[in-house]
Amino acid sequence: MQVELDLAFLEELLSSVAPSGFEAEARQVWKKAALAFADEVWEDTSGNVYAQLNPGKGGKLLLDGHIDEIGLIVTDVDEKGFVYVQGLGGWDPQVLVGQRVRFLGKKGEVFGVVGRKAAHLLKEEDRKRAVRVEDLWVDLGADSREEALAYVEIGTVGVLSAPLRYLHGRRIVSKALDNRIGAFVVLEALRHLRDAGVQAEVTAVASAQEEVSGAGAMAAAFRLRPKQAIVVDVTHCTRIPGVEKKTAGQAELGKGPDLSVGPYLHPEMVRRLRAVAEREGIPYTVSVESSHTRTNADAIALSREGVPTAVVSIPNRYMHSPSEMVDLGDVEHAVRLLALFGLELAEIEGRR
């Protein structure tokens, strides 16, 4: 099976503003792409969007990739027009300083800059202290609270402004690769399954709210009652300075997708994924999750009476920053692995 990625779709998906719980913009991009080929496409009240092939037939494979990204939410505006925020998802506040923000404002997109005292004005003890979110503000260019409130309000959400860039070779850098790249992979795999003539029921879901709760995946698994599930997310690339592979795992950019092994993950699912990869010459690495996976697999595996679940991850550098990095070769290999797995669905016994 040859894989050709729809990069125009990926670029549009990554450019959208869609923090956890407010995924509508990215959801519509994903839905538009799905409507071009899927048999059934729909949304639910949790914020998920689904694309399904062969509804009602056997197999019932769920492919999940969450579509939300970490973001910011307005909590206050002071009398001088400076905007204060909290994180939607897990930010390292050091990353925020000096970044540009895109808010989904009252009159459309609103841009601002994350401000902090310049280094020249900081006291010596402040220079040594780690930055906290409450030390920061967003400057919209407004001169008063009234002026700022004409554009944003308490509860307005936004993300860092960081467009996709192609680097040397086949690597890209962008905001929201965690986990817009997973939502991209599951829909691309579904498209290739359609082209290959899959006969089983396969559903891809771009799920909501993973960065804050996993509620979207929980709702999707409950609704669909899948017999098997594969969650596509990102994992930390361990080929960077200061990271110990013996504790962080073996995932590297350009070495293929990473397969997780652990107590939440069904051994037979992992075995079959590895068998397909080895037979087809798809490179992959293996990482261990000694407890929960911190992905949507944790919710899906425990849905109803339990769902045999696996996690396929794209190695990612600089996670939860506006400059996340992945290798497009790893993305292609992940799409191919999922599609080939979907063509060979077999029943999995309930016991491990």
Provide CB contacts within 8 A for 240, sequence distance 6+. Answer: 317
Q: Find out whether 157 and 104 touch, Cβ atoms under 8 Å.
A: yes
CA distance 204 to 138: 37
CA distance 257 to 285: 6
Q: Find out whether 183 and 66 touch, Cβ atoms under 8 Å.
A: yes
Query: At 190, which amino acid appears?
Result: L
CA distance 183 to 153: 30
Please pick, among 210, 289, 324, 332, the residue that the annotation labels catalytic.
210
Query: What would you report as the CA-atom Rg of the chain, rounded to the nearest whole angstrom?
Result: 21
Helix H or strand E encompassing 288: strand 285-288
CA distance 41 to 49: 7
Task: Tell me if residue 210 is catalytic.
Answer: yes
Q: Find out whether 261 and 289 touch, Cβ atoms under 8 Å.
A: yes
Per the listing, tokens 């009240």 go with: 45
Neighbours of 197 (CB within 10 A): 7
Neighbours of 33 (CB within 10 A): 24
* Catalytic positions, written as ranges: 210
